[in-house]
Amino acid sequence: MRNKKGIEFSFGWLFALIVGAAILFLAIYAAVKLVGTEKTAQETEAAKQIELILTPVETGYEEGKSVPAIIFPAETRVYNNCSTSGNFGEQALRVSTSSGIGKTWEEAGLPVTSYNKYIFSPSMMQGIELYAFSKPFEMPFKVANVLFIWTDKYCFVNPTSEVEKEISSLGLKRMNVTDNINSCDKTAKKICFVSELDKCDVFVDPVQKLVRWKGKQAVFYEGSLIYGAILSEPELYECQVKRLMKRESELALLYNAKSEIIASKSGGCSSDLQVDLKNLATISGEIENSGELRNIYFSAQELENRHKRITNCKLWGE
């Protein structure tokens, strides 16, 4: 008889091995899931913090307001999304932090939505420092504070005197002004104002009030929206413009209601504006794209001229 050598496994050993492996697997699975959930919670909290930090940046009676850079503890990605659904549309911010293990950039945290903020920025920003400034958007009355945020370098080539003055007076970081495109930093986005060169990433035509991203369709701006058109991709810009116009429409109706109550008690004061207010509410509420901004601007100007003629019971400030 041959001696068959082998390892003898008692039932106890086999049982312990199987159960041990199952417990280990469950523990590792739970730990990975837990880390993921914690990361999502932290990133969502960070997005909310950004939103909170940006609230005091909004202007009151100022022409513009900038804040010191928002500094993250590590390389961070901030995603800016916009939707036009609902009465005022939605603004959503998401944050993703670099993990350093495996895939560096995993899925971002949950979106933090707000209905009363209008953030113009690239749809994805990456960096340790985030820069922000705000300006009021008026047409003809103040519609909202618009926020501009960025992380990349920008080089403004031959900008208008107004833009140049604003960049220097607000002390906007990572935004340089030059009259020669070749002196721009290689990593900077080149914003050209006078001529549309191949090297330009974005072309701005201040006469036609038009901004064109390289290889994309042109968008149109009015007032402070010039910065929005430069910083945001056309899709995001168009969405935010629609949201702003929804707010404009609601505000026009609110001023109309205010005019009605004042007029009823004062024998008609400010009632001349009601037709124009209703018209402004209709056209701004039905906007399809930024190309219609010009038309809304002219209606707003007409309304403003009428409003200026009122001596007392003015509906908004000048």
Partner 1 sequence: MGRIRLIKMTEKKGQMKVQEMAFVLIAIVIFFAMVALVYFSIRLSTLKTDVTTQREEAAKELVRKLADIPEFSWAECSGCVDVDKVLMLKDRTSYKKLWDVDYLMIEKVYPNKTQIECNAANYPDCTTITIINNTKNYGSPTSAFVALCGYEVSAGSVKCELGKIYASAKAII
Stretch that binds partner 1, among 175-183, 189-197, 201-209, 261-269 (CB under 8 A): 261-269
Is residue 55 a contact point for partner 1 (CB under 8 A)?
A: yes
* Closest to 276 in 3D by CA, of 265, 267, 284, 268: 284
CB-nearer residue toward partner 1: 173 or 258:
258
Is residue 41 a contact point for partner 1 (CB under 8 A)?
A: yes
CB-nearer residue toward partner 1: 78 or 202:
78
Q: How far is the CB of 148 from partner 1 (least distance, A)?
A: 18
CB-nearer residue toward partner 1: 56 or 73:
56
Binder of partner 1 out of 265, 278, 294, 308 (CB under 8 A): 265
CB-nearer residue toward partner 1: 153 or 258:
258
Stretch that binds partner 1, among 82-90, 101-109, 193-201, 222-230 (CB under 8 A): 82-90
Contact characters 122-151, partner 1, x per CB under 8 A: -------------------xxxx-------
Contact present, 120 and 231 (Cβ < 8 Å): yes
Footprint on this chain of partner 1 (rule: CB under 8 A): 11-12, 15-16, 19, 23, 30, 41, 45, 48-49, 51-52, 55-56, 58-61, 86-88, 114-116, 141-144, 250-251, 253-255, 257-258, 261-262, 265-266, 312-318
